[in-house]
């Protein structure tokens, strides 16, 4: 279901009752600039994705959070906990070369995907797969109309891994 941008922001704000990490804040309607504004009809909440990313049966949320006092931003996962506050994991922090409003996140369903090196963008490193086989939903982290990577839960290591899907 796609909601109008204003309605989805209100719903996300209600869901996001957890205090963000120190120095960061949740996006507001005033932050809907750049690509967040340009693509608002196709992607009403480009800064939020929800699924059970680690397969524990509890819903998790991924957020692009903004710096409270500067142009910094980061990608965080809030791993849901039964009866408690979520565990917050930082997956990516801005290096200052791009604005948050030029990035987006969506949920990727389980399945088999060709990676960037598998598509021939570069030579695969020894630990870089040509194909990524996802058994759980993953986070598609992208720069609008450009490169993207998947953050996916590695059940063996019990942590998220990043795999580049395009350049």
Residues of the chain with pLDDT under 50: 1-15
pLDDT at 16: 55
Quote the pLDDT of residue 97. 85
Q: The pTM is what?
A: 0.88
Distance CA 84, CA 28 (A): 26
Could you give the CA distance from residue 19 to residue 56 in angstroms, rounded to a whole number? 22
Question: pLDDT tens digits for 137-164?
Answer: 999 999 999 999 999 999 999 999 999 9
In whole angstroms, give the CA distance from residue 132 to residue 157.
16
Tokens of 131: 């194909």
Q: What would the two tokens of residue 103 be?
A: 């990035």
* Beta strands 24-25 and 60-67, pairing class: antiparallel
What pLDDT is attached to residue 165?
98
Give the CB-side neighbour count of residue 4, counting CA atoms within 13 A: 2
Residues 70-90: pLDDT tens digits? 889 999 999 999 888 999 999
């Amino acid at each position: 279901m796609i909601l109008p941008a204003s309605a989805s922001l209100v719903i996300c704000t209600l869901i996001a009752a957890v205090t963000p990490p120190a120095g960061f804040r949740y996006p507001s309607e005033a932050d809907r600039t750049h690509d967040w504004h340009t693509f608002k009809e196709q992607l009403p909440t480009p800064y939020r994705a929800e699924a059970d990313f680690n397969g524990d049966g509890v819903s998790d949320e991924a957020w692009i959070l903004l710096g409270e006092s500067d142009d910094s931003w980061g990608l965080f996962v809030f791993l849901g906990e039964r009866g408690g506050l979520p565990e917050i994991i930082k997956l990516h922090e801005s290096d200052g070369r791009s604005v948050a409003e030029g990035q987006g996140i969506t949920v990727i369903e389980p399945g088999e995907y060709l990676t960037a090196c598998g598509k021939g963008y570069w030579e695969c490193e020894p630990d870089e797969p040509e194909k990524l086989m996802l058994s759980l939903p993953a986070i598609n982290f992208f720069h609008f109309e450009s490169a993207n990577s998947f953050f996916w839960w590695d059940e063996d290591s019990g942590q998220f891994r990043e795999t580049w899907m395009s350049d």
